[in-house]
Amino acid sequence: MAKKISQAVVKRLPRYYRYLETLENEGVSRVSSSSLAELLDITASQVRQDFCNFGGFGQQGYGYDVSKLKKEIQKIIGLDRNYNLIIIGAGNIGRALAGYKGFSSEGFFVKALFDVKVDEKETNGVGIFHMDALGEYVKNNKVDIAVITTQGSVAPSVCDELVSLGIKNIWNFAPIDLSVPSDVTVENISMSESLYVLSYRMNNEA
């Protein structure tokens, strides 16, 4: 896709997908842009504009076909294929992610964990290896996404190592911004930032 889609639209795609999945499970076969708009707290016109970015999905008088639209968005997000993940940092969060069933059900498979300290051979059925073995592992296995769940202080050097090994996609849980070459994609998820936003809102908006 040549056209650059705005980040706001990209962030809404997973929510469209989630709602359509729920609707499909509930046996709903058609949905209007205004219903989707209400669920996402935007306007119906914004929904139609969002979809225009991807060709419009041909809404007719009756709204969109739920299953068809879900499949289109699934394909756009890239949820129509499988991904191999490795996790760097076998602490509480890394181990929890290795056992999180919600990922594998959508095609994201955690294949290995790496850490500088290896206390166990595996967690939740996923092998834990020493960081020294990372280079060899990446050379011999297809790794689509590396997840960084280390402490913030070591995350930049871990990231540099991953980049030097040819990893192109990084999902970063460490509370720090990572510098990567332009051909590497980093997506950050910051639990602290989310908690601090809650803290701000409970202290200032209540």
CA-derived radius of gyration, the chain = 20
Helix (H, G, I), strand (E, B) or coil at 112: strand
**Do the beta carbons of residue 186 and residue 180 sit within 8 Å?**
yes
Using CB under 8 A, which residues numbered 146 to 165 contact a second copy? none
Q: How many residues bind a second copy (CB under 8 A)?
A: 58
For the bound state, the minimum distance from the C-beta of residue 30 to a second copy, rounded and expressed in Å, comes to: 21
From residue 57, give the alpha-carbon distance in Å to each of 3, 33, 71, 79: 17, 11, 11, 18
- If one asks whether residue 28 binds a second copy (CB under 8 A), the answer comes out as no
For the bound state, the minimum distance from the C-beta of residue 60 to a second copy, rounded and expressed in Å, comes to: 26
Applying CB under 8 A, among 132, 136, 160, 193 the residue interacting with a second copy is 193
166, amino acid identity: G
- If one asks whether residue 119 binds a second copy (CB under 8 A), the answer comes out as no
Residue 62 or 196 with smaller CB distance to a second copy: 196
Return the ∠ at Cα 190 (arms to 187 and 195), rounded to 5°. 155
Compute the distance between CA of residue 198 and CA of residue 80 in angstroms, rounded to an integer: 34
Q: Which stretch binds a second copy (CB under 8 A): 94-102, 109-117, 133-141, 155-163?
A: 94-102
Provide the token pair at 27: 């046996």
Which parts of this chain interact with a second copy (CB under 8 A)?
Answer: 1, 4-5, 10-11, 13-15, 17-18, 39, 76-79, 83, 92-93, 95-97, 99-100, 102-103, 106, 108, 124, 144-145, 168-169, 171, 175-177, 183, 185, 187-206
